[in-house]
Structure 1
């Protein structure tokens, strides 16, 4: 875990990561595993619960729904295509081939971004198009990175 100049944030982050890794945790589990004094653990859990970062049920602490809310907002404001742009251009220029960004969606894939080749070879694909996993290069890449059990 990274230490910053704001120890309270660092301590809260350690609690968040611990609970996220377990799904839920009791006060004792948090205190024993996060390595904070009892009084600090107690005060942080109370404050984080008050501010909806944590919720408590039957003696266990869970991440609060505010993470869902903030996560959705972050995704709305996050342009993954802008982030991938530089890499797609680099790959296209290096290989002189069309380059795609896509994701697995059930038994198919979906093109999310594309950088067309500078050559005369044109790949018939577009953003939003579904692709067969077994008959496309992007599909084969997606299949190659699946866990061995196929899930």
Structure 2
């Protein structure tokens, strides 16, 4: 499954310069990318980037306070993308340079997420890489 996101990893690191919360979820993004989660989400501090055991959860709600999201991730860099396999589906995790992980907490099969990258300066933001989930194993 890692080959699915290998192409996106070529664009890393990606700087988080925008954060958005609404009634349906959240998104983080930058000048030429966006990670949109239309379900519950959380930001977790990990002991190491590849670790799966959280040391603390910074945010864990469908909406959450906007200032908590912004202060947790703004000006951080996405340094890795990981596919996280659950029993029936696969979700995406974005690992930040400070070992925080932004991840989907799906209410499968209803939760949806998208990760898109477009050419810098493209006013129409036509994706050169686009991945949506949850994915099937």
Q: How does the TM-score come out when normalised to structure 2?
A: 0.22
Higher relative contact order (CA 8 A, sep 6+): 2
Q: Kindly indicate which of the two structures has a greater share of residues assigned to strand.
A: 2
The structure with the larger Rg is 1
Q: How does the TM-score come out when normalised to structure 1?
A: 0.21
Q: Kindly indicate which of the two structures has a greater share of residues assigned to helix.
A: 1
